[in-house]
Every structure is written in structure tokens, then in C-alpha cells.
A and B are shown apart, each in its own frame.
Chain A
Amino acid sequence: GAVVSQHPSRVICKSGTSVKIECRSLDFQATTMFWYRQFPKQSLMLMATSNEGSKATYEQGVEKDKFLINHASLTLSTLTVTSAHPEDSSFYICSARMSNQPQHFGDGTRLSIL
């Protein structure tokens, strides 16, 4: 149980493109979803916390207009990197949790902006 699916697993695109990443909880309803960014050999950096039906809460320093988060249902959250540039290249990971349970993670999306 507690499977989180994240798509796509890898994206390579040109600078200026907007990229959408989907995160789905397959066998449970997620009260909260989280979006992280991870650089090589570094810890997970929380970007935003998303509750279904409400606006995402962004961490300090994360541009909400750059990283658009939509949490349309209890099983789906999307992260859109708008007008991506090479400095946005990173490993993006989502997680989902239900009440009083640990976070369960997707397998991440490797984003490469040329």
C-alpha cells in the first residue's frame, strides 16, 4: 500500500519551456502533498506544501509564480515549472501523506533544461 506515482521520470527541454510534473497517490487519499527539490549529495529541500482544494504554502525563497502548484483532488497534485531555465535543472520529488501517517514518495523527476 501507500504508492505514489510521479510522471514524467525524466524531462529534457529547451530554455523557456514550461514543464508539468504530476504526482498521484494510487491507493490512498492524500490529505497533504509536498514538493521537494534535491541537488546531488544534498538533503531534500522542501519547496511547498499542498492541501487539497487550497492554495499551496511555499517555503521562503521559492517563487510561487515560477513553480505553480495545483492540488485538484485528494489523489493528484501537479507542479508546473514555468519558463524553465538551466538553473531550474534539478531532481524534483513529490510526496503524499494521509492523516497521522509518514510521507510516501514518488520516484522523482529529473529535469534538464538546455
Chain B
Amino acid sequence: SQKIEQNSEALNIQEGKTATLTCNYTNYSPAYLQWYRQDPGRGPVFLLLIRENEKEKRKERLKVTFDTTLKQSLFHITASQPADSATYLCALDKDSNYQLIWGAGTKLIIKP
């Protein structure tokens, strides 16, 4: 079955630097991959979706890459700010019913 691995250790980044989060999967290549942000006690918020035929996608300070050979997606936040501190979740499509398989998330801490 498909497994998703995200770094379970918190990532500490100095404000202004670029934060890079990793999402690795182990089995089939998904048709698309999504990144969400989750704050404590809140539901996830959708950030970006990248399809299997796309190598990179950008939205403001966010950039996502998708390498189907490495079975990996990287999520970048440039010019990071303390307000970017949150847990970031990676999710892959499971089947045609648009169900998703979720990683456990990586906690990002941006230090001023």
C-alpha cells in the first residue's frame, strides 16, 4: 500500500531564510499531490496542488516540486516569516473517488 513519509522532527528556520519540507512516497506515482497547512486545533488549509505532469508550481512565496522518479515532492517557503510557523501536510490521491492519503506532517518553526 502507498506510504507517505514526512520528516517527523520539527524544522527550525531563521526568519527570512527559505524553508524546505520533504514528502516521500513509496509505491505508485499519484496523479496529483497536494500540500496543506494545519495550525494547532484547526482544520488543514489547502495551499497547492501539483499534477504528475508538472515539475514545479508556484504561488506567491510558495513553491512545490514533484519528482516522480525520486518519488518525492519538495515544498519551499521563501523569505519565511514567523507567521509561516505551522504543520505542513502532504497528501496524495488514493483513487478516482478523490480520496487522499496523508502524511503525518512536518512542524515548521520560523524564529524571528
Contact = CB atoms under 8 A, between A and B. Distances in A.
A61 interface: no
Interface residues of B, number: 20
Given A32-B97, A104-B46, A43 B105 contact: yes
B43 A43 contact: no
A39 B53 CA distance: 34
The residue among B34, B43, B45, B49 with the most chain A CB atoms within 10 A of its own CB is: B43
Interface residues of A, number: 24
Contacts, number: 49
B103 A107 contact: no
Main secondary structure of the interface of B (DSSP, over half): loop
A108 B43 contact: yes
A25 interface: no
Contact of B41 (A103, A105, A110): A110
B107 to A, nearest CB: 9
Contacts of A105: 36, 43-46
Contacts of A43: 4, 89, 102-105
A49 B34 CA distance: 18
B42 A103 contact: no
Contacts of A49: 97, 99
B100 interface: yes
Nearest to A97: B98
A106 B4 CA distance: 23
Contacts of A102: 34, 46, 49
A6 B43 contact: yes
The residue among B8, B41, B44, B102 with the most chain A CB atoms within 10 A of its own CB is: B44
Contacts of A32: 97-98
Nearest to A36: B102
Contacts of B102: 43-44
A64 B44 CA distance: 25
7 contacts: A6-B43, A43-B4, A43-B105, A44-B44, A44-B102, A57-B97, A107-B41
Interface of B: 4, 8, 34, 36, 41-46, 49, 89, 97-100, 102-105
